[in-house]
Structure 1
Amino acid sequence: MASPHLYAAGVQEMSAATSIWKVVLSLVFVIAFIPACLWLMKRFQLTQMKLGQSDIKVVNVQSLGAKEKLMLVEVEGERLLIGVTAHSISHLKSFPSHGTSFASMMESADRERSVVGKNQETDS
């Protein structure tokens, strides 16, 4: 026969093991809960943005450095090439909105700049 002392020790060990498993399961739940909440928040924000249907659309972004980039945005049927830095936003060029790619727009802007540069050289 088992003595009451041994029985009590076994119950305490089982109780301690159960407590450890409760703590572990609680930690796993919390660790899984945080990313799930972040995912839901991101998903909800995307849904809100789609419902809002802003009149300003970012067509393309080209990073030029750590805090500098070129952005092609579309506003009311017109595409604008803007330069964005940490301290300012500058309008560089306007384009009609007719589905041309960002690369072709950059090439046309480069061609125009070279033509203007040649005209300034001949005027001098």
Structure 2
Amino acid sequence: MTIPYLQASGVQDVSVTSSIWKVVVSLVFVIAFIPACLWLMKRFQFAQMKLGQSDIKIVTVQSLGTKEKLMLVEVEGERLLIGVTAHSINHLRSFPSKSKSFASLMDEVDRENSADDKNGKEGVQ
């Protein structure tokens, strides 16, 4: 009578062991499946960006804080300097495209502003 009991116990052990292995294999599959899906999504997005060349290009972005940025955007041959916050987007200045570097344009703006400040102070005195 003990022999059938031992055989039944052995069958239960094999059944439990195979169930545990099924769970482990399923878990490994799911863990490997998530990064594979993310990689495929990223790859397809890159392909879509290449195919759908937009007329709007972000030339450069300068972060000013956690939610504030300056962005130089090129649209139909014209460069726009825009200020972006969490609540608004403001047009700050327009530049002709590719005539000068951004740094040289900003130096030119600084010179214009300093000249305007000097002229404003002379007119007041």
Are the structure 2 counterparts of residues 99 and 48 from structure 1 closer, same or farther at C-alpha, using a change threshold of 3 Å?
Answer: farther
SS in structure 1 of the partner of residue 15 of structure 2? helix
Alignment partners' CA distance in 2, 1:85 and 1:43: 30
Alignment partners' CA distance in 2, 1:109 and 1:59: 19
Alignment partners' CA distance in 1, 2:120 and 2:86: 32
In the TM superposition, what is the alpha-carbon distance from 1:123 to its structure 2 partner?
A: 2.1
Alignment partners' CA distance in 1, 2:117 and 2:4: 100
Question: CA offsets, 1:93-122, max 9 Å, x none?
Answer: 111222644333333322222222222222
Normalising by structure 1, report the TM-score: 0.87
Taking the TM superposition and a 5 Å limit, the aligned residue runs for 1:68-83 are 68-83=68-83
CA RMSD of aligned residues (A): 1.8
Partner AA of 1:121 in structure 2: K
* Contact kept? 1:83, 1:91, Cα under 8 Å: yes
* Contact kept? 1:60, 1:102, Cα under 8 Å: no
Are the structure 2 counterparts of residues 18 and 59 from structure 1 closer, same or farther at C-alpha, using a change threshold of 3 Å?
Answer: same
Equivalent pairs counted in the alignment come to: 123
Q: Name 1:45's counterpart in structure 2.
A: 45
Unaligned runs of 5+ in 1: none
Question: CA offsets, 1:27-69, max 9 Å, x none?
Answer: 1111221222122112212211221100000000001011110
Unaligned runs of 5+ in 2: none
Q: Name 1:36's counterpart in structure 2.
A: 36
Normalising by structure 2, report the TM-score: 0.86
Identical counterparts, % of pairs: 72
Could you list the structure 1 runs, at least 4 aligned residues long, displaced by more than 6 angstroms after superposition.
none
